[in-house]
Amino acid sequence: FAAAGLEPQLAMTARDADLIKTYVRAGLGVGLLAEMAVGAREDEDLLALAAPAELPECISWAVLPRARVSRDYALELIHALAPQLDLRDLRRVLEGNQEADWALPPSWVELSQPITQ
């Protein structure tokens, strides 16, 4: 927005796609959603427009409770979703024994390239 000389007027924010759609249906403004969060049948009352190229790529969050020991299957799931993370480093960060210094994830363009050998 700043690069375009605009300042957004944010009334509220939400991370839940259904809640964002509820806000839009209530006439509170527009919402930004991932393409997968909009269904043709259940959202036929909404108008979905492609986002401009100036919007950054979508980021997903893995949310874990701090007060619990993370199980191996949870760490394996995170590693499957973010293979650039080292499992040992992930465990150390979650245990509070290391600061998070993650490698940058691959971009959507990099992930969507055909595999060649």
pLDDT tens digits for range 3-46:
778 887 777 788 899 999 998 999 888 888 887 788 878 899 99
Alpha carbon distance 64, 71 (integer Å):
11
d(CA 115, CA 117): 7
Q: Which domain holds residue 47?
A: 1-56
pLDDT at residue number 33: 85
Residues 46 and 75 in one domain: no
Q: What is the pTM of this model?
A: 0.48
Q: Do residue 28 and residue 42 come from a single domain?
A: yes
- Whether 37 and 72 map to the same domain: the answer is no
Q: Is 43 exposed, middle or buried (0-12, 13-18, 19+ CB in 10 A)?
A: middle
Residue 111: per-residue pLDDT: 63
**By C-alpha distance, which of 54, 49, 52, 53 is closest to 2?**
54
Residues 47 and 25 reside in one and the same domain: yes
User: Do residues 116 and 83 both lie within one domain?
Assistant: yes
Q: How many domains does the chain have?
A: 2
Same domain, 87 and 98: yes
Q: What is the pLDDT of residue 45?
A: 92
Residues 6+ apart with CB under 8 A from 92: 98
Q: From 17, 39, 56, give the residue that closes a domain.
A: 56
**pLDDT tens-place string over residues 70-106:** 788 888 888 887 888 888 888 888 888 888 887 776 6
Are 18 and 72 part of one and the same domain?
A: no
Residue 115 confidence (pLDDT): 66
